Structure 1
Amino acid sequence: MDKKKRRLISRTIILLLLGAALVFALYTNFTKDKNESLRKGSEAPNFVLTDMEGKEHKLSDYKGKGVFLNFWGTYCKPCEYEMPYMENQYKNFKDQGVEILAVNVGESDYAVNNFITKHDLTFPVMIDKGREVENAYRVDILPVSFLVDKEGKVIDIITGALTEESIQKHMERIKP
């Protein structure tokens, strides 16, 4: 009986310690996300990515311009829906100091190039192969667009597919 009691106490202590460790891990994970999340008014995290034509794009090089930073995937139907509208508005705004940077979330060159060709996209499209940029911007749902003003500050974060009219309005907002 004494041996059974000790075993029960030992198991109970181990379970309590495991439970406490789990609660601690969950707590630190959730509070960390809140503290480090990107908010309106935050400085947009800088990055360097290479587009599909081999040209390097560094976000800080676009200071003085508005940047419509879009995260997307070829498999994402809402992303595909808004791409032609982004292309149309890019043609309207590229000479007015507004740039579109489209960041694919780690797919193959082949899939992305096929997508670009299919939709006849002319704005810079890059692949975040290591997903560092996606993580820096805390992207968890696609599509998501970050409006970055000429000072490099995030003025808005828009989740979900956008209409052509809404893309135009957002581009007006970031026009220098």
Structure 2
Amino acid sequence: MKKRRLVMRTAILVILFAAVAYTLYANFNKENVHKVQIGKEAPDFVLVDMDGKEHQLSDYKGQGVFLNFWGTWCKPCEKEMPFINNQYEQFKNQGVQTIAVNISESNLAVNKFIERHGMTFPVVIDKNEDVKAAYGIGPLPATFLINPEGEVVKYHTGTLTEPMVKDFMTQIKP
């Protein structure tokens, strides 16, 4: 009986040690997760918006692209959407496009969110999380600024304020 208890305790300790080691490793290497580098070309992708229209990033060359990754469950994402929408309306005719990439949620949930917040910019869903993986997205919201040449000029994670969104869109305006 004592030997069995010792084996169980040892197994539990080994599992706990492995979990702690993995957590430490993941935290120390989280800066290396982002596959997209500033100054390099943004990975191309094709995703379909809520109206069934395809959006291919490379089609936007010559324009700045404000690329925002988000989720309907994400409170910081919800907070910044009105700011993004307001600035989209200001910059859409000045060569700055906005694409909001939802991470693998249902069309129903995304459409309800769009209606509730009156979003007018293109919203696409990354159903298989391929684009999320290509961009090395961790916590949401995450925003990439892509210049008219197709290069990533900035990466920001966390909630955006309206002045930040305006500044970011000004930075990528042709």
TM range (shorter): 0.7 to 0.9
The letter for the 1-side match of 2:41 is E
Structure 1 segment 8-19 matched on structure 2, within 5 A: none
Count of aligned pairs between the two proteins: 151
The alpha-carbon distance between structure 1 residues 35 and 138, as it changes in their structure 2 partners (threshold 3 A), is closer
The answer on 1:40 being equivalent to 2:48 is: no
Identical positions, percent: 54
C-alpha displacement at 1:37, in angstroms? 2.0
**1:50: which partner in 2?**
48
TM (norm. structure 1) is: 0.81
Instruction: Say which SS state the counterpart of residue 82 (structure 1) adopts.
Output: helix
TM (norm. structure 2) is: 0.82
Q: State the alpha-carbon separation in 2 of the partners of residues 85 and 47 from structure 1.
A: 25
Structure of larger gyration radius: 1
Instruction: Say which SS state the counterpart of residue 170 (structure 1) adopts.
Output: helix
**1:133: which partner in 2?**
131
Can you list the C-alpha shifts for 1:2-42, whole angstroms capped at 9, x where unaligned? xxxxxxxxxxxxxxxxx9xx99xx79xx69x8387212111
Unaligned runs of 5+ in 1: 1-18
The answer on 1:84 being equivalent to 2:82 is: yes
RMSD: 2.1
Unaligned runs of 5+ in 2: 1-17
**1:155: which partner in 2?**
153
**1:11: which partner in 2?**
none
**1:111: which partner in 2?**
109
Runs of 4+ in 1 over 3 A off after TM superposition: 33-36
